[in-house]
Structure 1
Amino acid sequence: MIVPGSASQALAAALAEHTGRPLATPEYRWFPDGEECAAVPEFEGEEAVVVAATDSNDALVELLQLQDAVREAGAETVTTVLPYMGYARQDRAFEEGQPVSARAVARAVSTGTDRVVLVTPHEAGVADYFDVPVEVLEAASLLAEPLPADLTEPLFLGPDASAEGMAAAVRDAHGDGETSFFEKERDYDTGEVTVTPGDVDVAGRDVVVVDDIIATGSTMSEAVAALRERDCGDVYTVCVHGMLAGNARTKLAAAGVTRVVASDTLERAESDVSVAPLVAEAL
């Protein structure tokens, strides 16, 4: 049975449709002191697939409760699908005395599940922090689907060298184009980061900027603005995880982006691609 977290209801419904499995209807209530109780009053079968993006602390606690609830309801095996894993970017201690938050979260999630499915984690190494088997799914290639088929001399750019592989995956799925990446320069006096599309010629070309996540939109909007200054054609920003926190969407629009494309690992207005078929193959 597919059991959705409150932040992943559309994805869970799509996954139920793709797999033919029944969809549970959890109930959520809050006590006067702010504590939540996530319950699964109607549960069928011996296997539970809990689908829950942990994009907030509340969502993480809710996931732990859902894992426990399906065990109480009789599930013999539990698979936890993390479309988006919060704290995955805190994959190491950056200063002395800091936690490895991704490890702490992974250990907590592991206590209530037999298996974990991760979709494009920011750092692939976070899979090693879980105490149960983990399968990592790469969803970048799905982002090509909403793009126009007739892009003009398309250029697929990663925000840095490490993301050029994702850009290549989108390019290959689209079927045509060149790949490159932005060069970053940091001013260590001010902390500001400047991004430029290197020496590649973008004039008159449609550009697709590819990243795993757009969070605040600051770096991505700067990248779009740099492309516009070089007289490019249309600019598309595509990402697996469209966090788009705060005024990120406005920053991108102001910079001149043509369209923002994201998947439904985080359910936003820009979620034009579903990872449900990819996850269904892994179940």
Structure 2
Amino acid sequence: MATMNEPKLIAGNANLPLAEAIARRMSMNRGVQLGLVDARVERFNDGEIFVEVYENVRGEDMFIIQPTSNPANDNLMELLIMSDALRRSSAARITAVIPYFGYARQDRRTKARTPISAKLVANLLTQAGIERVLTMDLHAAQIQGFFDIPVDNLYASPIFALDIKTNFKGQMGDLMVVSPDVGGVARARELAKRINSPLSIVDKRREKPGEVAEMTVIGDVTDKICIIVDDMCDTAGTLCKAAEVLMDNGAREVHAYITHGVMSGPAVDRVTKSVMKSLVITDSIAPSDAVKGAPNIRIVPTAPIFAQAILNIWYGTSVSSLFEDNTLSPIYESLYSMD
């Protein structure tokens, strides 16, 4: 919905560095200074969240940048309350930019008497006045159907493909993309197609949530440089075990490309001590100091693709065009040269 005014960005406390990077990138693209709307998002002594917006937002196209990562409940409430404040201040449209969509793993009833929390979150966002959602690599694609408003789901695979083509130049014929479970095959196949590599699967069987009982490699990974691809890394137990199994099956090296680095509990320690040569994550979740300091963890930025997606939404042009190499490469040209 293009207007004479510029799009306006506002951010909660979940990932301020990403929000500021998006604002800088949009400023470069537009040739005008675009900063974050001046606001305070604070807590009372009892933990209640309070939001006050210091700038006039009447009739403005507002974009709230707020991943709902740990602490998920606090960050979600910040998002809802910011939306309510903007709606009551007569904003023309409110788009929630949620780089990491929390509660996405609860997308169906796996057994009796359990919730579908992702649907509940979708209802809360809509009721708070949000009219559009922009996110990245939803854990389950069907979550888009939980909303009765437009949902733009960006993919990290085009960014990962650019990164792989740069960092594995001259070794592309030795690569093997690996899905760490059967459910992630579509995501892995998408990346494999982009880099023209074969696909393998690690079939895992769980005894209980968070514990992997057995893993089997489907496909020949002998002397291959294996690239594990997944949407999130939480405690890194499954990821590190998959890397071990691949090495045991004859892989030359194992690397991992994971969109959302949740990195809970012992994750960083596990990755540092694992057989993986590198773990590449995005900054959809603000990385901790431990993640930043890990020698084999690398972070790729999402600000360029989010900035362009926000501008495309504001212009009323295609967001899906960002999935194509010839569209995405120019906005990442400062990082990846394809020469």
For the 8 Å contact 2:176–2:198, the answer to whether it is kept is yes
Deviations 1:169-197 (A, max 9, x none): 33344x34322211223458xx6432232
Offset at residue 231 of structure 1 (A):
4.0
Aligned equivalent of 1:182: 202
Q: Tell me the secondary structure at the aligned position of residue 222 of structure 2.
A: coil
Aligned equivalent of 1:93: 109
- Shift in CA distance, 192/178, structure 1 to aligned 2, threshold 3 Å: closer
Q: Tell me the secondary structure at the aligned position of residue 177 of structure 1.
A: coil
Aligned equivalent of 1:168: 189
Q: Tell me, yes or no, if structure 1 residue 75 matches structure 2 residue 91.
A: yes
Match of 1:15 among 22, 25, 46: 22
Moved more, 233-242 or 6-15: 6-15
Match of 2:65 among 51, 70, 84: 51
Tell me, in whole angstroms, the C-alpha distance in 1 between the residues paired with 2:192 and 2:109: 34
Tell me, in whole angstroms, the C-alpha distance in 1 between the residues paired with 2:120 and 2:160: 31
Q: Tell me, yes or no, if structure 1 residue 238 matches structure 2 residue 252.
A: no
Offset at residue 230 of structure 1 (A):
3.1
Deviations 1:78-128 (A, max 9, x none): 111111111111012223222211111110011221111221110111111
For the 8 Å contact 1:140–1:212, the answer to whether it is kept is no
Offset at residue 236 of structure 1 (A):
1.1
Offset at residue 246 of structure 1 (A):
0.9
Tell me, in whole angstroms, the C-alpha distance in 2 between the residues paired with 1:156 and 1:172: 10
Q: Tell me the secondary structure at the aligned position of residue 183 of structure 1.
A: strand
Aligned equivalent of 2:50: 37
Give the % identical residues. Answer: 28
- Shift in CA distance, 43/227, structure 1 to aligned 2, threshold 3 Å: farther
Offset at residue 166 of structure 1 (A):
2.0
For the 8 Å contact 1:242–1:271, the answer to whether it is kept is no
Q: Tell me the secondary structure at the aligned position of residue 121 of structure 2.
A: helix
Q: Tell me the secondary structure at the aligned position of residue 34 of structure 1.
A: coil
Q: Tell me, yes or no, if structure 1 residue 60 matches structure 2 residue 38.
A: no
Q: Tell me, yes or no, if structure 1 residue 142 matches structure 2 residue 163.
A: no
Q: Tell me, yes or no, if structure 1 residue 6 matches structure 2 residue 13.
A: yes
Aligned length: 280
- Shift in CA distance, 145/10, structure 1 to aligned 2, threshold 3 Å: farther
TM-score of the pair, normalised by structure 2:
0.75
- Shift in CA distance, 197/252, structure 1 to aligned 2, threshold 3 Å: farther
For the 8 Å contact 1:143–1:263, the answer to whether it is kept is no
TM-score of the pair, normalised by structure 1:
0.89
For the 8 Å contact 2:231–2:258, the answer to whether it is kept is yes
Tell me, in whole angstroms, the C-alpha distance in 2 between the residues paired with 1:238 and 1:257: 11
Where structure 1 has 5 or more consecutive residues not aligned to the other structure, the ranges are none
Counterpart AA for 1:41: Y
Offset at residue 247 of structure 1 (A):
0.9
Offset at residue 66 of structure 1 (A):
1.1
Moved more, 146-155 or 97-106: 146-155
Tell me, in whole angstroms, the C-alpha distance in 2 between the residues paired with 1:242 and 1:104: 24
Offset at residue 23 of structure 1 (A):
1.9
Kindly report the root-mean-square deviation, in angstroms, between the aligned alpha carbons of the 2 structures: 2.3
For the 8 Å contact 1:139–1:278, the answer to whether it is kept is no
For the 8 Å contact 2:257–2:280, the answer to whether it is kept is yes
Tell me, in whole angstroms, the C-alpha distance in 2 between the residues paired with 1:9 and 1:23: 10
Q: Tell me, yes or no, if structure 1 residue 114 matches structure 2 residue 131.
A: yes
For the 8 Å contact 1:43–1:70, the answer to whether it is kept is no
Q: Tell me the secondary structure at the aligned position of residue 136 of structure 1.
A: strand
Tell me, in whole angstroms, the C-alpha distance in 2 between the residues paired with 1:192 and 1:166: 21
Match of 2:145 among 110, 128, 135: 128
Counterpart AA for 1:164: V
For the 8 Å contact 1:181–1:197, the answer to whether it is kept is yes
